[in-house]
Amino acid sequence: MSRPADWTPLAAADPVPGDPVEVARVGRRLQQVADQISADVSWLRSLCTSRFWDSGAGREFHGQVDDAAARLARTHDRYLAAALALGSGLSGAGYAGALDRAQSLSLRALTQAQRAWSAMRAQLATAAAANEGCPPYAGTPSLTRLPAQPRLDSSGNPVPLVAPAGADPRLSDAVARYNASALEYRAANGRLADAIALRDEAAARATALIQAAIAADGLQDRTGLWHDITATVSGDTRRHDRKQCG
Amino acid sequence: MDGRLMADLGRIWQVSGRLSWVEREVSDASTGTGGDGAFLGSGELAAALQSCVNGWRSQREALLAQLSSVARLSALAASSYEKTDAQLAAVLEKAMGLP
């Protein structure tokens, strides 16, 4: 499903990007790899029986195969963890489902915000017209060069208008309507924050699941400064030894 | 060797074919997981997935080398058994004076 390109006024860009359908497809692919590895390990272990090959050479062979099966078995858990973390469908417990729900929520927030924003702009213009061309915000007069744009606070929520005591009924009415739409916009902003939090929590859970599997299987490549230094020193030593022997 | 000799030559021959399939599966496991991971919508998760699928290069190469070695050994063993069995049959036939 394609996402809207224009996220104004809520955000400058898609605040919940990603493709849940593709996430689920990759999740299913990883599950297939995990299942296949599991079948391969069982098959390799089935070779380590005396019914298959019973002789001195056979027993040597069993040792080799058993070792390969054990090594292959360790890879299974990381693929399974990644598959479960991503999920294989949009209705499951994995990240794909959470991302889909977060995106749906963000779309509802956008629709609600755009509707509220449009109403706020119209009511702001009416209120400004009824207030000698100046939007009736509390405190200092607005310095904005775009009086038709509602003013937002640092949290992205609309600043309410204030009708002075004894104001013209047309101004009071516009201010009341503006503030009602501003509340609607605030609700949309809150809904978007919920969507982002849902996505962030699901991504953190999935990341932790994958990282735990990586940390547990002992297969990960060693990286980092100390590894680079020791690898370089050991490479230099080997080259030095070869020179001395040759 | 304790005097017993039993080998399922048919299955020993199958080993190298099946193992080359396993090797391909392990090698290809990193493909099809979606390039830079932009589809995930989370840089942290994309990095974890990338690390999971591609971050065991050294151990994967060792595993592939081991699988390749087992496949080579099994093919060699099956071929040697067949050759030895044929030689033994010929010797026995000759000794028994069979045509």
Half-sphere exposure of A1 (CA within 13 A, CB side): 12
From chain A, the residues in CB contact with B44 under 8 A are: 203-204, 207
Closest C-alpha to B18, from A106, A240, A44: A44
- Among A57, A99, A210, select the one facing B48 at the smallest CB separation: A210
Tell me the residues of chain A between 21 and 60 that have a Cβ less than 8 Å away from chain B: 22-23, 26, 29-30, 33, 36-37, 40, 43-44, 47, 50-58
pLDDT tens sequence across A193-241: 999 999 999 999 999 999 999 999 888 888 766 666 666 666 665 566 5
Quote the percentage of chain B above a pLDDT of 70: 88
Assess A193–B contact: CB distance below 8 Å, yes or no: no
What is residue B39's DSSP assignment? Answer: G
Sign of CA dihedral A45, A50, A51, A52: positive
pTM: 0.81
Given the cut 0.85, state whether the ipTM is greater than it: no
**Inter-chain CB proximity B41 and A57 less than 8 Å:** no
Question: What pLDDT score does B30 carry?
Answer: 64
pLDDT (average), residues A165-185: 93
The tokens of A17 are what?
């990007």
pLDDT tens sequence across A87-104: 999 998 999 999 999 999
**Inter-chain CB proximity B48 and A56 less than 8 Å:** no
**Inter-chain CB proximity A72 and B25 less than 8 Å:** no
Quote the percentage of chain A above a pLDDT of 90: 58
Cα A33 from chain centre: 24
Q: How far is CA A194 from CA A4, A5, A106, A108, A239, in A?
A: 19, 20, 8, 12, 58
pLDDT (average), residues A111-120: 97
- A234 burial (CB, 10 Å; 0-12 / 13-18 / 19+) is exposed
